[in-house]
Amino acid sequence: MRLRRLSAALLLLGASTFAEEVPPETLGRIQAEQRQAEQDIAASHGNRKPSEMDREERRQVMEEQKKANNAVLEKYGVSAKDYAHASSRLSREDRAQVEASEKRAAAEKRAEQGKAAGAPGEVAIEYGKGAEAGKGDKGKGKGKGESSPSKSKSKSSHSKRSGKGKGRDLGGLDE
């Protein structure tokens, strides 16, 4: 009898009491902060590969990364188990939201760091149809008087096929 009441109570409470649902927006922010923390740790150790470190330094880097990741999870109030569960059960739409959130969080972090350093913001350069329209094509070999090879009026001998060789181009040579 007690067992039935206990099981009924657990069903009424639902699984949400035991496993917290983590929204994709939060997952993206967590991933962005964890990635930033790992980059900071790598930079503090000279951005060296693990194969270039000795055993003690590799162990130290792993411990620092573990502590940093746990600190980020704790900051958002998410357990490692809930984070792993939520990130493994994402739909395609949720994954897209996570990526967008992660990019947004990284951009906000860069903007914040730029303001703190006193650097000017990003300047976007756009080329229109005015006098500067051709600037984007410079260096590609297409200037005045030149045309692309696909617009050429002369045909090469390679484009003519004789029908022999069943689709193989023999470079104008017959068998």
Tell me the CA distances in angstroms from 149 to 53, 125, 140, one per residue in order: 52, 30, 13
User: Domain residues of the chain, as ranges?
Assistant: 21-116
Which residue's structure tokens are 């193989």? 168
Q: What is the residue-level pLDDT of the chain in tens, covering all 175 positions? A: 665 665 555 554 544 444 578 999 999 999 999 999 999 999 999 999 999 999 999 999 999 999 999 999 999 999 999 999 999 999 999 999 999 999 998 898 888 888 877 655 566 677 777 554 445 445 455 555 555 555 545 555 555 555 555 555 556 565 4
Tokens describing residue 14: 């639902």
Place of tokens 């600190």: 71
pTM: 0.55
Neighbours of 21 (CB within 10 A): 11
State the CB neighbour count (10 A cutoff) for residue 86.
21
